[in-house]
Structure 1
Amino acid sequence: MIVRAATDADWPQIWPFFDAIVKDGQTYAYPDDLTIDTARSLWLEPAPGHAVVATEGDRVLGSAKMGPNRPARGSHVATASFMVDPAARGKGVGRRLGEHVIEWAREEGYRAIQFNAVVETNGSAVKLWQDLGFRIIGTVPEAFDHRLHGLVGLHVMHLQL
């Protein structure tokens, strides 16, 4: 598996799993009716944003986007979002993307990484981030309207670099 910078040419492979994950309503608060172009502008942000893909041959297995969590005085803390093609789950794609983001943030001089909204019922993501050293520093109660569970909390997770 190779992790490399995402390009516009990767978007046709990212879009189907991006759309399916958003419409699934269990992990992201994006609107269900995003168009392919609107979603692209949200995921493939201009600098200082940066997006990568995890590939196996010509196939995109997953993607991550990263950059500063806040502008200006908050720009020393990074943030990131991750999506893995459901057909590639359980193959270490999320872990490899997570490791890549941590390495990237260190190389870019960030002092920490903060995830603002990890859905508390997303046990596999919570466990992965904890395995990679992130701590839950707070949970916003009932901040996410989960398609199956109704109102659930959003964890704020943090990794000091």
Structure 2
Amino acid sequence: MKSFTAEMGRLLRHRRDNRQAPTLGARELEVMKILWRGDVLSAQDVLQAISDSSLSLSTMQSTLERLYRKELVSREKTGRYYLYRAAISRNAVITQLLGEIADQVGDGDMAPMISGFMSFIDQETSEPLSSEMRDAIQRLPSERDD
């Protein structure tokens, strides 16, 4: 538990880099969720895995091209088509989004975001997890202890 406590302390004092989280449309996000499974897929493979059966192959290729330009997917030419894979992890996107929330809502202070996250945990999960996290946060050294 000590490493969790140390990590939480680091997060509370965290200074982010200035990279913004990618802006993803609903279709782009759905494609990323498919690619985050770890497979290397063609546009046709992604099209078959997507929930919207009305999409054409050219629409899927355009979506993948946009994701490639945003540097969210990598691709490799194989014959007459590309194979795609996620170039950024789901965790990295979530981390960037959380950093933006902290900047926009908490003026860069992570404490209000952690507090909001704890409120979410209280509402959405079991009490033992919530209590364990609260105890770990209370054991964090304050900034003046550094």
**Structure with the largest fraction of helix:** 2
Structure with higher RCO (Cα < 8 A, 6+ apart)? 2
TM-score when scaled to structure 2? Answer: 0.28
TM-score (norm 1): 0.26
The structure with more radius of gyration:
2
Give the strand-richer structure, 1 or 2: 1
